[in-house]
Amino acid sequence: MAKPLTHRIVSKLARLHDFYPRNLRLSLSREPTIQVLVEDDSQFNFAFFHWLEATHPAIYRQLRFTLSDSRWAQRAGSDALLLPWLRDPVRERDLALYQRVVTIEQAYAAVGCGIVNPVRVLSNARKKVALDAARSLGIRCADIVLCGPETAFAALEQRLGLPFIVRDDATHARPMRLVRCQSDFDGIDWQGFRQPAACEYIDTRGSDGCFRKYRYVLVGERGVPHHLIVSNDWCIRAQSRLHHEEYVAEEARYLQLDAEPHHRVLNRLRKKLELDLVAFDYGLDPQGQLVLWEPNPFPYLWDQRKDQVSRLQGQRAQAYRIFQLMLELCLQKGGLRIEPRTGQLQRLDGEGQLERA
């Protein structure tokens, strides 16, 4: 649901107050900078930058935060990298924003500057596109077909079987509906979906009757297990997590894996989807085989307000490992290094040597 207009205006003014002095200072600097392009109404998922401010304050001071519709949202001569910090997908939900970002990215590409998760490839994470790609690699996942109130229930039943799930193809965190019969389908409130899709229901309950959702985050070629949620609900959310001691221990074992067993095939899928950063959510069937649910190229990894929640310390540690990989990815794609003495960013030339002024 969209935030009230007054809330969005106040939020935008607050951001401008924070961003303007920073960007003015950086416009006068000769040090390399990274432009972090944020959406006007984005109010979440800044944990990476909070971590960066605490652990690498000199680098944090070299970030240019820009609102996507502001005059600062263009390539500056000091910029070495563009980091579009935008909810996926963009093209399908805001074409004007998509076109603005594409224009900005073209300016970076023209001079050989790096871009992390270009806005075009975010559309590759749409469920139908991503799951079709996964199946081409031999990954088991739900059959999926776009649908709507005009779609014949009998055709969906014949293709997907019963029950099946109706969910949004493009976006995350929207409602999901389990359809067991014609009346369930007829009772769907289609207004809650941007682009509805019907998905095959694959039963992934374990021998204890519980459902499990694993999240594995890939940053370039490297990956980190982020969480394991055990739930009684087929629609697995953090709010439905079971906190029994044995499930806490099970998650801890997953987070401590030296090698995620599905890394190779999920990394192949990441490359096929052209994503630099992506979280894959998956389950396991009764035979222990991977069942992919969806990719998320803008994953919510941590909330600093939960730093002191003891049962989440393992997940916090994993998020911080991921943040370190994200920083290293930015350095690599931006042709940058951290100066050991000052902690500041420095440019490298095409040979990987320190660029001379």
pLDDT tens column, 312-344 = 889 999 999 999 999 999 999 999 999 999 999
CB-count burial class (<10 Å; 0-12, 13-18, 19+) for 89: buried
Query: Domains plus CATH for the chain?
Result: 143-200 (3.30.1490), 211-297 (3.30.470.20)
**CA separation (Å) from 198 to 129, 147, 148, 294?**
14, 6, 9, 14
Min mean pLDDT across 65-74, 151-160, 303-312, 326-335 is at: 303-312
Kindly state the percentage of the chain with pLDDT values over 70.
Answer: 92
- Predicted TM-score (pTM) of the model is 0.92
Compute the residue count for the chain. 357
Distance between CA atoms of residues 341 and 35, nearest Å: 24
pLDDT tens column, 77-120 = 999 999 999 999 999 989 999 999 999 999 999 999 999 999 99
